[in-house]
Amino acid sequence: MTRDHRSDIRNQSATQVPYSIRMRRVPHPFAAPSRKGGRLLTLTVLAFLLLVTGCRQDMQNQPKLIPQRGSAMFADERGARPQVVNTVARGQLREDSYFYTGVVQGANGYREELNVMPFPVTMTVLKRGQERFNILCSTCHSRVGNGLGEIVQRGYKPAANFHDQVRLAQPVSHYFYVMTHGYGAMPDYSAQLTPIDRWCVAAYIRALQLSQAATPADVPAGVNVEDLKAFAPKDHPEFARPWPLPTTAVQAYPSVANQGTPGMAPAYPADPAIKIPASNPAPAAAK
């Protein structure tokens, strides 16, 4: 290729490449800024410094107490202050202790249960108690209260029979106390039942007991009295058939004679005496 041909090619390439591309200069990254850029940078830095020096920390350091943190405001350097003596949180006064506990202090110093409801028993109360009983209690005690619920028939410890002589002799607040604290193998239901619902269930248990132990004297005058055996097989077969203990039921814990049944339940003087025959002779005392 001759010199003239190379010159023609360079001239042709120069005419095809845009002028802006050919004349653009890329600044060096470490090159000194121009006078105009330097002024702009200086003004930006000064504005930032003025902004920082003018800021206050009120939003960051607020005059407040943060839970579980120390504080220089008090001599003990504790941010969490102790509660004022004899103060009660809103909604937790519980002035009527019998309504919330079901017991009173007896003459002997022990807690004592009473056969008294803290409010009048109406049909609304009984219907509420029946609803709660069928939902939470019938699985063990059955809907008729004989202690042979569906769980017991599948191997759980036999529940209390509300129609035996022991339960008939217990005061109505005993059922409230048991629902609050549990008894033997029965857990407490204080989380599932509010205090008023526990009283409603206790009132309904009394109604169940009356349904099996009522006499003609309990019926108001002028009301026709019909024998349960006459219509129970048809309308209420659960009341007509016998109540034997199912063969699948087991004793989860051995009964303790001086603590009553269910076994391992706490005892206190107000409990009725329950005699349980010993299946094996007591071991002889060690000499």
Q: Structure tokens of 9?
A: 């090619």
User: Is the pLDDT at 14 greater than 60, yes or no?
Assistant: no
What mean pLDDT do residues 183-196 have? 93
Domain ranges of the chain: 98-214+233-269
More confident residue, 246 or 287: 246
Name the residue among 120, 155, 149 with its Cα closest to residue 134.
Answer: 149
In this prediction, residue 106 carries a pLDDT of 83
The alpha carbon of residue 242 and the mean position of all alpha carbons in its chain are separated, in whole angstroms, by: 38
Q: What is the DSSP letter of 99?
A: H
Q: Using an 8 Å Cβ cutoff, are 92 and 80 in contact? A: no
Pairwise CA distance, residues 250 & 126, whole Å: 32
Tell the CATH topology of 98-214+233-269: Cytochrome Bc1 Complex; Chain D, domain 2 (1.10.760)
Q: Confidence class of residue 162 from pLDDT cuts 50, 70 and 90? A: very high
Per the listing, tokens 């079901």 go with: 102
User: For 31-88, how does the pLDDT look when each residue is reduced to its tens digit (9 = 90+)?
Assistant: 555 666 678 888 888 877 777 666 666 666 677 777 788 888 888 888 888 888 888 8
Pairwise CA distance, residues 167 & 266, whole Å: 16
- What is the average pLDDT value for the chain, to the nearest integer? 75
SS3 (DSSP) at 146: coil
Pairwise CA distance, residues 260 & 286, whole Å: 26
Name the residue among 68, 82, 98, 94 with its Cα closest to residue 202.
Answer: 98
In this prediction, residue 261 carries a pLDDT of 44
Q: Structure tokens of 18?
A: 């845009």
Pairwise CA distance, residues 194 & 8, whole Å: 103
User: Is the pLDDT at 253 greater than 80, yes or no?
Assistant: no
Tell me which of 65-69, 187-191, 199-203 is least confident: 65-69
pTM (predicted TM-score): 0.56
SS3 (DSSP) at 43: helix
